[in-house]
Structure 1
Amino acid sequence: MLRSVPSKSQILRYVKGLLITWKLRWRGVDCEGRVVVAGPAPRIWSKGSVKIGNRVLFRTTSRRTSIAVRGDARFEIGEKCFINDGVEIDVWKSVEIGPYCFIGNNTRIADTNYHEIDQGAGPRVDSISIGRNVWLASNVTVLPGVSIGDHSVVAACSVVTKSFPDRSLIAGIPARKIRDIEAADDYIRPG
């Protein structure tokens, strides 16, 4: 079987990915494999634990992705996820994103609401869990305490305020379940 010779741009992308992976590891990020970046490297500010799966792709061609992990918080993203332009992830406790997820541009994921709503209650801080093969379309906001089940899809501009089971089509402000999605357990959404 003949193998094609990689182009110069493919080689440069590969080397860039290796350099960014090395830089992230040097800064204390646990990379399970190679990180792939199209554009400038994402901004990752961490005092807590950060784990990035193999071949996670960050596309930052128009606006850089920003990930902040504070104190002893934990952020984990599974293998072969795609993170689009301008995604902001703010972790005060725990955010976990499963493998094969698509995170659309300008999406915001924060496990805190930053300020108290009721007098004396303090800000809400609660873990976020996003399952396997989930697609968050552009401009989605995911709020504290949310769990999104495997194979689910969240429509553009939705604000997710509560948890949803596997295989849910979710949309709206606040988001609600529109219908069930048909997907086998081993299904991987093509990218």
Structure 2
Amino acid sequence: MSLVRRVLRQFREPLRDGILNVFIGSSFIPRALRPRLLRLAGHDVHPKAIVFAGVFIGGWRGLTLGEGAGVSYRTFLDLTAPITIEPGAGVSFNCTLITSSHAISDSTRRWGDLQGSPIVIGAGAWIGANCTVMPGVTIAPGTVVGAGSLVTKSLETPGVYAGVPARFIRPLD
């Protein structure tokens, strides 16, 4: 590999973070403009989606936001694998959506190769503040996840879920 390529490779993440998370994610960028800029950067973001300032976007590609979907302040979107937030779904303040994990390796280095699994948040679902959603999780349309919950497995039945780990609390109308 040429020296120029090696040097450019070292700047991939800082460049991504500078464009996506410092410039586009800045509170100086009008909220209505942010979806357009994210589309220009390579994401599939509906013009009527809402992305608040301070959202961390961890990749050039892989984020899909449907019409009226919203992601609030200080949310972390890993994007090692795709994240889909369907129309009308909302992710509240300070949530973490993690699409990556590591294979368990031998005893000399337990954190093995990086592995990614997508996250899908169904239409109209609402993820409460300070929630963590783990790799490979699908959340059923219309589901509500209570604040502070840890979602470790897919929530297939619409309803209210809460806790660590999130468990079914009650159905919704």
Indicate whether the TM-score tops 0.5.
yes
Q: Which residue of 2 aligns with 1:102?
A: 90
Deviation at 1:59, TM superposition (A): 2.6
Q: Which amino acid aligns with 2:49?
A: V
Which residue of 2 is the match for residue 90 of structure 1?
78
Match of 2:55 in 1: 65
Shift of 1:127: 1.4
Amino acid at match of 1:137: G
- Extract unaligned runs of 5+ from structure 2: 1-28
Name the structure 2 match of 1:54: 47
CA RMSD for the aligned pairs?
2.3
What is the alpha-carbon distance in structure 2 between the residues aligned to residue 21 and residue 162 of structure 1?
29
Which residue of structure 2 lines up, in the alignment, with residue 154 of structure 1? 145
Structure 1 residues 170 and 25, CA gap change in structure 2 (3 angstroms): closer
5+ residue gaps in structure 1? 1-14, 30-49, 183-191
Counterpart CA distance in 2 for 1:20 and 1:123 is 30
The 1:21/1:83 distance shift into structure 2, 3 A limit, reads closer
SS of equivalent to 1:69: coil
Counterpart of 1:136 (choices 121, 127, 133) is 127
**1:20 Cα deviation from its structure 2 partner:** 4.2
Question: Following TM superposition, by how much is the alpha carbon of 1:167 offset from its aligned partner in structure 2, in angstroms?
Answer: 1.6
Q: 1:103-158 CA distances to partner (integer Å, 9 max, x unpaired)?
A: 11000101112x34453763442111110001001000000010100000000010
**For 1:18-29, what aligned pairs fall within 5 Å after superposition?**
19-20=33-34, 22-26=36-40, 28-29=41-42
Which residue of 1 is the match for residue 99 of structure 2?
Answer: 111
Q: For the residues of structure 1 that align with 2:138 and 2:37, how far apart are their CA atoms?
A: 31
Q: 1:17 deviation in Å?
A: 5.4
Give the 3 Å change call, closer, same or farther, for CA 181–90 of structure 1 in structure 2: same
Question: Percent identity between the aligned chains?
Answer: 27
Greater helix proportion? 2
- Tell me the TM-score normalized by structure 1: 0.65
TM-score (norm. length: structure 2): 0.72
Number of aligned residue pairs = 141
